[in-house]
């Protein structure tokens, strides 16, 4: 049997592919464990700056494997949640490259990512209410923070599909590209992110993610704890020197 999750890495960009095209990349236990292992590996690798998550065969993911669910199989990983990623995404930036359907848990996995590049034919939705279920893998928690309240309600309560174009207009999808070009578009975006200093990129993501829970009176102090070490890093000195010398910086991640 082919591996349920495939990985590759080059030029500081790791690509993680859900590889169950015969099941529209539905998430079962094997996929969840594979995603968790891949994220754990790449998050701890000094050779990786950015992660891309995609699906094989022209579909991102149709969500939880309902056949596995009926058989009592869990698509969760302890400490990481659904798909091995929904409750604890990587510390490094991650981009979803979406072709075809990103539905139910598949949409929730995409919402776990920091950016979404989608094909113009991609379709997103949370159809759980039509199956007697609830989008409990982060969809109901993340959507109201990413799109306007009424759109979040429409997505969650109707269970209908939404186009990449509409979600780009709402600010959820970063880029819409041609059919079959989502991965290439995600690679191009990832390469732009990878040009930044690793410590600065990681700190920037951390502040954006964690500050949602900070009290306004504490925000600058808490931000200072995160970004202070960046200003004292060797990369900060290198960035200034490279700018002054009109050359590309050479980051060391320290």
Q: Hey, which residues are catalytic here?
A: 108, 128
**Which pairing describes strands 50-55 and 94-98: parallel, antiparallel, or unpaired?**
parallel
Task: From residue 66, give the alpha-carbon distance in Å to each of 18, 84, 186, 217.
Answer: 17, 17, 29, 45
Q: Hey, what are 68's tokens?
A: 């596995």
Q: How far apart are CA 148 and CA 144, in angstroms?
A: 6
| Angle between the N-to-C axes of helices 219-231 and 234-244, in degrees from 0 to 180, rounded to the nearest 10 | 70
Six token digits for residue 49: 């700056």
- φ/ψ region of 184 (left if φ > 0, alpha if ψ in -120 to 50, else beta) reads alpha
Please check whether residue 95 is in contact with residue 39, taking contact to mean a CB–CB distance below 8 angstroms: no
With CA atoms as reference, report the closest residue to 208 among 223, 193, 230.
223
């Amino acid at each position: 049997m082919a591996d349920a999750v495939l990985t590759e890495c080059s030029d500081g960009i790791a690509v993680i592919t859900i590889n169950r095209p015969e099941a529209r990349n539905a998430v079962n236990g094997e996929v969840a464990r594979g995603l968790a292992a891949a994220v754990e590996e790449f998050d701890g690798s000094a050779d990786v700056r950015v992660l891309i998550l995609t699906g094989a065969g022209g579909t991102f993911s149709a969500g939880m494997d309902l056949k596995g669910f009926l058989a009592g199989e869990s698509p969760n990983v302890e400490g990481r949640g659904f798909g091995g990623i929904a409750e604890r995404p990587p510390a490094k930036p991650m981009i979803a490259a979406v072709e075809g359907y990103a539905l139910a848990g598949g949409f929730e996995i995409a919402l776990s990512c920091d950016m979404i590049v989608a094909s113009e034919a991609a379709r997103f939705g949370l159809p759980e209410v039509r199956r007697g279920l609830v989008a409990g893998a982060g969809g109901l928690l993340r959507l109201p923070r990413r799109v306007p309240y009424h759109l979040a309600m429409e997505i969650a309560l109707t269970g209908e599909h939404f186009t990449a174009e509409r979600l780009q207009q709402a600010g959820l999808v970063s880029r819409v590209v041609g059919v079959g070009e989502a991965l290439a578009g995600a690679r191009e975006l990832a390469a732009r992110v990878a040009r930044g200093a690793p410590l600065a990129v990681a700190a920037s993501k951390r502040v954006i993610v964690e500050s949602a829970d900070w009290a306004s009176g504490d925000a600058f102090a808490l931000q200072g704890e995160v970004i202070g070490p960046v200003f004292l890093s060797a990369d900060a000195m290198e960035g200034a020197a490279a700018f002054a010398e009109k050359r590309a910086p050479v980051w060391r991640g320290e």
